[in-house]
Structure 1
């Protein structure tokens, strides 16, 4: 297998990559925020139902506010990453073989050996490649031909990195 495709210097592309990678890392803040807000709301309701709940009410309200802020943290970071990364738009390329994924962006280049890839997550725009537990890079499907995308999907499924269709 040998798949090669170019990445144009699109100002929106780095933002989409940053948003895809950060959403993986920031998902836990939404979950923690939802739990904090729910526990705080339940505590507030219970404290209002019983007399003497005035001492617990500020704590419950603080938990609700902290939960809401935690849930808003992830969208804020993604939006900031999109805004800041738009100035990094440079031409690049991917060269994917049976052995590794080579990426070039401007004057920088790097690669990941398939033996080091732990798993691949399928998203609407990208395949997110994990090395260990951390997302390392993305492979943009929309920039590949349909035949190359299907060949790569079959290759990754064959290696157990993606579930078969």
Structure 2
């Protein structure tokens, strides 16, 4: 297998990458926020009928507020990443072989050996490549030809990195 494709100097591309990687890392804040807000609302509702209701109102209000702020953290990080990353747009390229994934961005280059990849997650725009438990890089599917994307999908599925469709 030998797949090569270019990444144009699109100001929106670095923001999309940052949003995809940030979404993977920060998604837990949505769940934590939902739990905090739910506990706060339930606690507030239960305490309204009790004698200690007025004393605990601050606690339940704080839990609801913390939950809402926690749920807003991911969208805020994505917005900041998109806003700040426009200046990072440079021409780049990917070269994917049986041995590794080589990436070039401007004058920088780096690679990841397939032996170090533990799994690949399929999202709407990218394949997110994990090394151990950390998302290490993304592979943009929409920049590849359909044949190359299918070849790579088959390769990753055969290696057990990507779940079959």
Q: Which of the five TM-score ranges fits, normalised by the shorter chain?
A: over 0.9
> 1:87 matched to which residue of 2?
87
> 2:98 matched to which residue of 1?
98
- The Cα shift of 1:49 comes to 1.3
Q: TM-score, normalised by structure 2?
A: 0.99
- The Cα shift of 1:51 comes to 2.3
> 1:4 matched to which residue of 2?
4
- The Cα shift of 1:136 comes to 0.3
Cα deviations by residue, 1:86-138 (Å, 9 ceiling, x for unpaired): 11000000000000000000000000000000000000100000000000000
Q: Residues 54 and 143 of structure 1: is their aligned pair in 2 closer, same or farther, counting only changes over 3 Å?
A: same
**Mapping for residues 13-162 of structure 1, pairs under 5 Å:** 13-162=13-162
**Unpaired stretches in structure 1, ≥5 consecutive residues:** none
**Unpaired stretches in structure 2, ≥5 consecutive residues:** none
Cα deviations by residue, 1:68-101 (Å, 9 ceiling, x for unpaired): 0000001000110011011100000000000000
What is the distance in 1 between the residues matched to 2:145 and 2:95?
Answer: 13
What is the distance in 1 between the residues matched to 2:122 and 2:32?
Answer: 24
What is the distance in 2 between the residues matched to 1:124 and 1:28?
Answer: 19
Secondary structure of the equivalent of 2:51?
Answer: coil
Secondary structure of the equivalent of 1:124?
Answer: coil
What is the distance in 1 between the residues matched to 2:102 and 2:62?
Answer: 48
What is the distance in 2 between the residues matched to 1:109 and 1:92?
Answer: 9
What is the distance in 1 between the residues matched to 2:6 and 2:67?
Answer: 42
What is the distance in 1 between the residues matched to 2:29 and 2:112?
Answer: 29
Q: Number of paired residues?
A: 165
Secondary structure of the equivalent of 2:90?
Answer: coil
Q: CA RMSD in A?
A: 0.6
